[in-house]
Structure 1
Amino acid sequence: MGSRLLNIQRRAAEHGRLRTGYTQGNRPVKSATWVVTSHSEEHVRKAAELWGGTPETWKPLNSTTAQWRVITKASSIEALITPGDPLNQYNELWSAGGCQRRCDGQTELLSRQRCICLAQFGEGWHQQKKGTVCSATSRFNVMLPDLSGMGMWRAETHSFYAASEWGGMVDMVLAGTDGKGFVPVTLRIEPRQVVREGKTKKFPVVVVELRGVTPRQALAGPMSTAMALDPSGTRAVAALEAPRPDYLALAEGALTSDDVRDIWMQAQDAKHVHFKGEDELSKQLMAIAARKDEEAASARKASPVEPDADGVYPAEVVDESSSSTWPAVAQAGSAS
């Protein structure tokens, strides 16, 4: 094994952020689903494929550098806790000029004073108006196994409630694994509410849960990378099965729209499309079938078929209605 610099901490590059809110103009908006942001268009487009949403360019507040983001449709995503301690927590107060306070709960580290918020407001300091006291800021570095690259993604929350829950979860995992190996988890945005002084306040909290493994497995020591990547073993089973056909390529090579419909029926038998044709693959196959019909109609207009001297056409032309097994929307499309 090669040598390493001993005075430099080794860490993976940060690919982007996992957020629970976004900005509309200059107004912050809380989100019930994950918002994925990155400088990499590729990462964001892949996230949109996995979790829905529309990729777009975006500039963070007080920044002149454009990034990419997607407001996904997923409130839960799969992730991996990586070796080492993935959690970083401080009570922080930020302004346009940068970080004004960073406190570990006892000492404000920039001024080396005793916790200013605690001295000012007592134990209930976190209930004070935002901007007047620090926010409990938790930064959780995870790997997203289904996105490209070997870097880290940072989930960040300013929730006082999430701070204690994340810390407890990570401490238990580290106690079992000694910070070695990967641990599969789910990051889930959970809506909650509290009642204070007769008023109900609703807010999202990010919950970190074990995924596909039991506490016994997670606390028994470092698990294998293969198990962390596929705790249920379903991917290993799928790898032994025949590869999924490239239905779109088969459809493009088909001669007629009827052949495309046959390909859709094969996909339906394999449960790769929805029987109502509401999935994306069905819609793409329907579009190809409609195009085949248009091409055939254009060819007939360009070179009309003429009967021979006996009035017989060289081939019998049959105009049948669309098969009832093809989705209704495809029948409507082929009728044109």
Structure 2
Amino acid sequence: MGSRILNIQRRTAEHGRLRTGYTQGNRPVRSATWVITSHSEEHVRTAAELWGGEPEEWKPLNSTIAQWRVITKAASIEALITPGDPLNQYNEMWSASGCQRRCDGETELLTRQPCLCAARFGEDWHTQPKGRVCSTTSRLNVMLPDLSGMGMWRAETHSFYAASEWGGMVDMVLAGTDGRGFVPVTLRIEPRQVVREGKTKKFPVVVVELRGVTPRQALAGPMSAATALDPTGSRAVAAIEAPRLDYLALAEAALSSDDVRDVWRQAASAGHVHPKGEDDLSRQLMAIAARKDVEETTDAAGEGSWDTEAGRQDPEPDEDGVYPVEIVEDGAPAAEWPAVAAPGSGARS
């Protein structure tokens, strides 16, 4: 294993942001669906293919650097919580000149003073108008497994109510995994409302939910990357499923009616024909087998003896006097060729 610089924190590149709002001109707008933003046009176009919406160039407020964004049609997206602690939470106040306050709920970290908002407005400080107090800011780093690249995407919310839910969810996951391994989750935008002083306020809250695994599985320890990527196993089944064969072409290329029977059995094993031959493909294969049977009978006339009961010509010995035999493998019995279509049924002349 290679060496590392020990005093440099290892981190994964950030590919973009997952937002619950966007700007129209200089006006902020809440969104009921996810807004994906990135410097990468490719990432945003792929997100649009997955979750709908129209990709467009976009500049964040107070920025001269263009990015790309798509206002998707999806209120839920699949993600992975990655190893380590993916959650970062502070009470923050920002202005055009940057971050003015960053507080952990007890201490304002830039000035090392006690929490200014709580000191002025009490424990319900978060009900004050925006701009007067800090915003509860939660940043959750996740991986989007269906987008290219191994980087992180940052989901950010300024919801006071989402903060406690995110913290509780992540803490439970970390208690089970010890910060090791991936955990499949769904990020879902859920509409909420509260009534304060007789007024109803509606707002979106981002909910983080386990996806495809039970709490027992999530809390039992780190799960494998394969399980986290596909907790239901549906993609694995689809990935290993063989493409459907052209059974008619195989039957036409067969040398004998017995070979056609083997093609039918192959189709039956794959579940592509009715086990009793009650489907169009079986009937077509039966017709080909019957035709092959007639061809075999015609070709074999006068060449060796014909076993009318078994419906086949006796094989001829090779130059060493050895008769060819068929080796049958042990295992599950082969599907039975439908009796109504067995080639050679009945007497021959």
- Shorter-chain TM-score tier: 0.7 to 0.9
Distance 1:242 1:191 in 2: 43
1:113 counterpart letter in structure 2? Q
Distance 1:162 1:190 in 2: 10
2:294 corresponds in structure 1 to none
Distance 2:9 2:220 in 1: 28
Distance 1:8 1:46 in 2: 33
Distance 2:73 2:158 in 1: 22
2:139 corresponds in structure 1 to 139
Distance 1:4 1:181 in 2: 21
1:101 corresponds in structure 2 to 101
- Whether 1:148 aligns to 2:144 is no
- Whether 1:168 aligns to 2:168 is yes
2:208 corresponds in structure 1 to 208
- Residue by residue over 1:176-199, the C-alpha shift from the partner in whole angstroms, topping out at 9 and shown as x without a partner, is 000000000000000000000000
- 1:226 is paired with a residue whose SS is helix
Distance 1:229 1:119 in 2: 46
Distance 2:244 2:71 in 1: 29
Q: What does 1:32-181 correspond to in 2, within 5 Å?
A: 32-181=32-181
For structure 1, the residue ranges without an aligned partner over 5 or more in a row are 246-336
Distance 2:133 2:104 in 1: 14
Number of aligned residue pairs: give it.
Answer: 245
1:75 counterpart letter in structure 2? A
Q: What does 1:254-333 correspond to in 2, within 5 Å?
A: none
Superposed CA RMSD: 1.1
- Larger CA Rg, structure 1 vs 2: 2
1:214 counterpart letter in structure 2? T
2:226 corresponds in structure 1 to 226
* Identity fraction in percent: 88
- 2:22 is paired with a residue whose SS is strand
- 2:85 is paired with a residue whose SS is coil
Q: 1:242 to 1:119 in 2, by over 3 A?
A: same
1:188 counterpart letter in structure 2? R
- 1:35 is paired with a residue whose SS is strand
Distance 2:199 2:52 in 1: 34
Distance 2:48 2:172 in 1: 32
2:197 corresponds in structure 1 to 197
- Whether 1:9 aligns to 2:17 is no
Distance 2:9 2:223 in 1: 24
2:253 corresponds in structure 1 to none
Distance 1:198 1:45 in 2: 44
Measure how far apart 1:242 and its partner are. 3.7
- 1:100 is paired with a residue whose SS is strand
- Residue by residue over 1:164-217, the C-alpha shift from the partner in whole angstroms, topping out at 9 and shown as x without a partner, is 000000000000000000000000000000000000000000000000000000
- Extract structure 1 runs of 4+ deviating beyond 3 A: 242-245
Distance 1:125 1:97 in 2: 24
For structure 2, the residue ranges without an aligned partner over 5 or more in a row are 246-349
Measure how far apart 1:154 and its partner are. 0.1
1:27 corresponds in structure 2 to 27
Measure how far apart 1:244 and its partner are. 9.5
- Residue by residue over 1:213-255, the C-alpha shift from the partner in whole angstroms, topping out at 9 and shown as x without a partner, is 000000000000000000000001001224599xxxxxxxxxx
Measure how far apart 1:97 and its partner are. 1.2
Q: 1:243 to 1:118 in 2, by over 3 A?
A: farther
1:231 counterpart letter in structure 2? P
Distance 1:63 1:40 in 2: 16
Distance 2:30 2:81 in 1: 25
- 2:173 is paired with a residue whose SS is helix
- Residue by residue over 1:58-81, the C-alpha shift from the partner in whole angstroms, topping out at 9 and shown as x without a partner, is 000000000000000000000000
Q: 1:191 to 1:57 in 2, by over 3 A?
A: same
Q: TM-score, normalised by structure 2?
A: 0.69
Q: TM-score, normalised by structure 1?
A: 0.72
